[in-house]
Homo-oligomer: A and B are copies of this chain.
Amino acid sequence: MVPHLTTALNGPLLELEQRILDAMPRIEYWLRTQWLEHGTPFYASVDLRNAGFKLAPVDTNLFPGGFNNLSPDFLPLSVQAAMSAVEKVCPEAQRFMLVPENHTRNTFYLQNVAALTNILRQAGLTVRIGSISPEITEVTRLPLPHGGELVLEPVKRVGNRLVLDGFDPCAILLNNDLSAGIPDILQGLEQSLIPPLHAGWAVRRKSRHFAAYARVARDFAELIGIDPWLVDPMFASCGMINFHERIGEDCLASQVSDLLSRMGAKYREYGVEQDPFVIVKADAGTYGMGIMTVKSPDDVRGLNRKQRNKMSVVKEGLQVQEVIIQEGVYTFESINEAVAEPVVYMMDHYVLGGFYRVHTGRGIDENLNAPGMHFVPLAFDTACSLPDCAGKPDAAPNRFYAYGVIARLALLAAAIELEETAPLELAA
């Protein structure tokens, strides 16, 4: 099932989808040539927002944590893509160590690790899970909600290699986004580290990603003859923000004001009647902490203590110092009157499938990847690679094809971003 658009603003989206469908051979050809020039991340997920008049990525995750939410029907596709990804990144590898996040009490996350491990094993790898959590000091068996268990083992450093008892892996796959910084134990390893350390939030910045995305979107828009804004969220950033001490409020208010006014111009151009809003979030980090919906510069001035606390801390205690102010994209997709946001999963440069985050308690202008969010993952029930050119543009396979295209634009932006931020010795 695909959620139907619930507003009258579906004209332009249908037009956008139709353009994407019509240009399909050109798009696939162009993407093929892009992948020849840019090495793809091993895996990624992209949160999209479908506003009816606009379809754009709002977040690109290089350590995707929801493989368990994909339909089991997508498993063969995932296995095939994993084979391709392994071939490209480390064809000589046979043994993989998967390094997960440290929050081992989140059973949703554990199911993700189990699903990802299963995909890699089906692709023919020997996989064991090595934890860098200080709490995992011995082999730990964690039961999974739907049966089975996950076996976490404490990693050991032997010289420049990360090993487990009796297991010396050729490559290490990170499913840990390094929000807390790069731990010493991962520094200077001689094994392949996938993705590389600079893909973690210790180094990565959303603003760099969306700067790269803006360039990709411009080229793509030229390719299919559209206004890049229809697929690209505008943004600005502020460095040196300290919410606790109220440092940087002026920068923030002025950037919010500027972005809202640029959005207002675009909304008038396209006859959009909603109020523009922006999202203020940490430029580094994930998991929806430290995120605000803002409709006026006044919203970021004079925050009360609770608001300031909320904005000050992101995952694992990393202090917010830089923020990104991103154009908010309304989501006009809903399922049973609950707000829905599509998430697309990729491995190598292949789209595996996706799911909807569905949230009954949230508005169309709010972030759905929020703390404590109990979203209902609704798996896409058809693949993203099979548009039905004879079908209506809003037929499920066509909507999913458009989602897959926009998600791959974000993936390409991530590839370029990683090239640009690679340590000098690697970039040479």
What's the minimum C-beta distance from A297 to chain B, rounded to whole angstroms?
Answer: 45
Contact assessment for A83 and B350 in the assembled complex, using a CB-CB cutoff below 8 Å: yes
* A28, B87: Cβ atoms closer than 8 Å: no
A385–B79 contact, CB under 8 A? yes
Select A32's contact among B28, B35, B86, B385, beta carbons within 8 Å: B86
Q: Are B25 and A124 neighbours in the complex by a CB distance under 8 Å?
A: yes
> Does B25 contact A76, Cβ atoms closer than 8 Å?
no
Task: Report copies per complex.
Answer: 2
A270: which B residues are within 8 A, CB to CB? none
- Answer whether residue A64 sits at the interface, using C-beta atoms and an 8 A cutoff: no
Select which of B27, B32, B91, B386 is within 8 A of A76 by beta carbon.
B386
Partner of A28, one of B25, B36, B123: B123
Q: How far is the CA of A126 from the CA of B27 in the complex (A)?
A: 11
In the complex, are the beta carbons of A386 and B79 less than 8 A apart?
Answer: yes
Which of chain B's residues have a CB closer than 8 A to the CB of A31? 124
**Chain A 56-80 per-residue mask, 1 if CB under 8 angstroms from chain B, else 0:** 0000000000000000011111011
Minimum Cβ distance to chain B for residue A315 (Å): 33
Q: Does A125 contact B (CB under 8 A)?
A: yes
* Chain A interface helix/strand/loop/mixed: helix
* A35 / chain B contacts, CB cutoff of 8 Å: 87
Q: A73-B73, A84-B84 are in contact. Are A29 and B94 (CB under 8 A)?
A: yes
Whether A25 pairs with B126 at a CB distance below 8 angstroms is: yes
User: A383 contacts the other chain (Cβ, under 8 Å)?
Assistant: yes
User: B32 and A124: CB pair below 8 A?
Assistant: yes
**Cβ contacts under 8 Å, A86 to chain B:** 32
Contact A76 B33 (CB under 8 A): no
Q: Is A186 interfacial (CB 8 A cutoff)?
A: no
The A384-408 residues at the B interface (CB cut-off 8 A) are 385-387, 389
Whole-angstrom CA separation of A75 from B122 in the bound complex: 19
Kindly identify, within residues 342 to 391 of chain A, every residue whose CB is under 8 Å from any CB belonging to chain B.
Answer: 350, 383, 385-387, 389
Q: Does A26 contact B (CB under 8 A)?
A: yes
Interface positions, chain A 119-147, Cβ under 8 Å from B, are 121-126
Write the chain B residue with the least CB distance to A126. Answer: B25
Residues of B within 8 A of A29 (CB): 93-94, 124-125
Check A425 for interface membership: any CB of B closer than 8 A. no
Chain B residues whose CB sits within 8 angstroms of the CB of A84 once the complex forms = 84
Q: How far is the CB of A26 from chain B (nearest CB, A)?
A: 7
A383, B124: Cβ atoms closer than 8 Å: no
CA of A251 to CA of B265, assembled, Å? 87
> Which chain B positions have C-beta within 8 A of A76?
74, 77, 383, 385-386
A294 at the interface (CB under 8 A from B): no
Say yes or no for A230: interface residue by CB 8 A criterion.
Answer: no
A residues 5-35 in Cβ contact with B at 8 Å? 24-29, 31-33, 35
Which B residues are CB-close (under 8 A) to A33? 91-92
Q: Is A416 interfacial (CB-CB < 8 Å)?
A: no
A344 to chain B, nearest CB (A): 14
Q: Tell me, in angstroms, the Cα distance from A386 to B91 when the chains sit together.
A: 20
Q: Is A81 an interface residue (CB 8 A)?
A: yes
Q: How far is the CA of A94 from the CA of B81 in the complex (A)?
A: 22
A388 and chain B: residue at smallest CB distance: B122
CA–CA, A387 and B122, complex, Å? 7
Is A386 a contact of B94 with CB atoms below 8 Å?
A: no
What are 27 A-to-B residue pairs whose CB atoms are below 8 Å? Answer: A25-B94, A25-B126, A28-B83, A28-B125, A29-B93, A29-B94, A29-B124, A29-B125, A31-B124, A32-B124, A33-B91, A33-B92, A35-B87, A36-B87, A75-B386, A76-B383, A76-B385, A76-B386, A77-B80, A79-B383, A79-B385, A80-B81, A80-B350, A84-B84, A121-B389, A122-B386, A122-B387
Can you list the 7 inter-chain pairs with the closest CB atoms, starting with the nearest? A28-B124, A76-B383, A29-B94, A25-B126, A79-B385, A32-B91, A76-B77
